[in-house]
């Protein structure tokens, strides 16, 4: 069997595009129920009786369809939501090729530097920054200094080059051109030209009076990035140093200079440095060059992959939960169908008494069950999509990471497998309905 697959099937399967392979799998999942349906209904026309039964017991049928829909929605939602969250976190980190920080936890640094979660981190000194910025393979090295906030929005000190790298052209306004100008993220509740004073720290522990007299003005707004930086306020790194009484990093002879190069002897320090290499391969050389006892160079994408591997384990658990749920629901559906057939057992007994073929009665019960299962599954897909959209909106609002959920092939494969299995097993209630005593059912 294995030789048959590798010799004949695998070569042709590899020629198909991913979408064609997924479509073929979908058809394969549905094939059993299509074959069963063809064999059960072939040569018969039970549809008028099935429609009458569906309408007569519409409220009971509706409850049954809703139960199936909720189950399918749960399975669809679990898989789609996990995938949307994984893609959203990856999208937020895609602009951060290589980050250099003080030795410590890479995960903590990623959360602080990429996702702007508050964290206390050691500072890198001016000599190290100068070595990084002047390296022959470095296109630019942008300091990222955080620790202040304004009404929940993190205030981050950096350079104009970093803004260009993160957002490209601005959505409106202009980049900062002096120490106390600021570029705001797409979702920051400030208007251009509006003044603000940052607080020291974040959340409830922020000291709103620590930087009194440091008046900033919003001069530009970045385009939406779908990351936590949409809530950030970017100011010159010199301004962050100055409001903390640390100087401007350029020396006394350059009191108004903005951006690199900085004076290594007066450089106050920065928690993280974003490095953009001139060539892709140089990132690996730079990582090796600046990973030592003084600094830690890492790829945020690699750290995120490690976190996603943990999420992958969670995804496996969620997938198992979805399958177990579907199995339990399948058992419940079959039990429910047996109960539902009792509602019209007298009508089936009457048809048997007047000589209706047993295969015709079997097809009535099976078609009735198939319609309920198909309707519940279709409604479940719609309900699952709507639910995940709502949950994604909540997650995006809480994390500032754009989580977009689009139903994909895995969800349709899950539903197709559920439909096929349940419709095939629906033959069991149909068989049981024919085994009921005619006389007893006629007496009601």
Distances (CA, A) of 167 to 96, 136, 397: 12, 25, 20
In the 8-state DSSP scheme, what is residue 169?
S
pLDDT digits (tens, 9 = 90+) for 205-246: 777 787 787 889 999 999 988 889 999 999 999 988 888 888
Q: Which residues of the chain have pLDDT under 50?
A: 1
User: Quick one: pLDDT at residue 318?
Assistant: 66
How many other CB atoms are there within 10 angstroms of residue 162's CB atom? 22
Rounded-to-integer distance, Cα 360 and Cα 351, Å: 10
Find the radius of gyration of the CA atoms of the chain: 32
pLDDT at 443: 58
pLDDT at 319: 66
Positive/negative CA dihedral, 206, 208, 209, 212: positive
Given this model, what pLDDT does residue 430 score? Answer: 76
Q: What confidence score (pLDDT) does residue 438 get?
A: 57
Cα(436)–Cα(224) distance, rounded to whole angstroms? 65
Query: Which residues have a Cβ under 8 Å from the Cβ of 357 and sit 6 or more positions away?
Result: none
Residues near 361 by beta carbon (within 8 Å), at least 6 away in sequence: 348, 351, 352, 433, 434
Distance of alpha carbon 81 from alpha carbon 383, whole angstroms: 13
**To which residue do tokens 């189950």 refer?**
71
- Please give the structure tokens belonging to residue 151: 């009404």
Q: Any idea which residue has 């295969």 for tokens? A: 359
The token duo for 188 is 């920051």
Residue 400 has what pLDDT? 78
């Amino acid at each position: 069997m294995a030789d048959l697959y590798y010799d004949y099937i695998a070569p042709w399967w590899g020629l198909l595009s991913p979408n064609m392979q997924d479509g073929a799998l979908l058809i394969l999942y549905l094939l059993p129920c299509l074959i069963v349906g063809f064999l059960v209904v072939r040569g018969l026309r039970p549809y008028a009786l099935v429609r009458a039964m569906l309408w007569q017991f519409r409220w009971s049928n509706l409850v049954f369809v809703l139960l199936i829909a909720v189950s399918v929605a749960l399975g669809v939602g679990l898989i789609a939501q996990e995938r949307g969250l994984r893609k959203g976190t990856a999208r937020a980190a895609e602009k951060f090729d290589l980050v250099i920080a003080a030795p410590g936890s890479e995960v903590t640094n990623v959360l602080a530097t990429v996702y702007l979660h508050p964290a206390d981190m050691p500072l890198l000194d001016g000599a190290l920054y100068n070595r990084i910025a002047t390296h022959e393979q470095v296109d630019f090295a942008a300091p990222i200094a955080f620790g202040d906030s304004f009404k929940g929005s993190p205030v981050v000190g950096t350079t104009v080059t970093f803004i260009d790298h993160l957002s490209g052209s601005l959505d409106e306004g202009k980049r900062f051109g002096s120490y106390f100008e600021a570029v705001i993220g797409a979702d920051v509740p400030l208007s251009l030209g509006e003044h603000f004073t940052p607080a020291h720290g974040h959340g409830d522990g922020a000291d709103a009076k620590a930087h009194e007299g440091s008046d900033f003005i919003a001069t530009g707004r970045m385009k939406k990035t779908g990351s936590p930086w949409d809530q950030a306020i970017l100011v010159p790194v010199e301004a962050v140093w100055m409001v903390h009484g640390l100087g401007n990093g350029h020396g006394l002879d350059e009191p108004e200079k903005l951006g690199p190069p900085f004076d290594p002897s007066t450089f106050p320090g920065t928690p993280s440095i974003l490095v953009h290499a001139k060539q892709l391969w140089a990132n690996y050389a730079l990582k090796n060059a600046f990973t030592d006892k003084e600094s830690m160079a890492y790829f945020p994408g690699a750290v995120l992959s490690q976190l996603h591997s943990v999420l992958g384990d969670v995804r496996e658990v969620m997938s198992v939960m979805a399958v177990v749920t579907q199995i339990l629901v399948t058992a419940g559906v079959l039990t429910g169908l047996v109960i539902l057939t009792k509602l019209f057992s007298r009508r089936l007994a009457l048809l048997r008494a007047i000589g209706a073929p047993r295969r015709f009665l079997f097809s009535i019960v099976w078609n009735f069950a198939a319609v309920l299962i198909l309707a519940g599954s279709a409604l479940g897909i719609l309900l699952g999509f709507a639910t995940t959209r709502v949950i994604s909106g909540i997650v995006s609002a809480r994390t500032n990471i754009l989580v977009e959920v689009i139903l994909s092939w895995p969800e349709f494969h899950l539903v197709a497998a559920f439909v096929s299995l349940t419709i095939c097993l629906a033959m069991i209630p149909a068989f049981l309905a024919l085994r009921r005593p005619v006389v007893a059912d006629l007496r009601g």
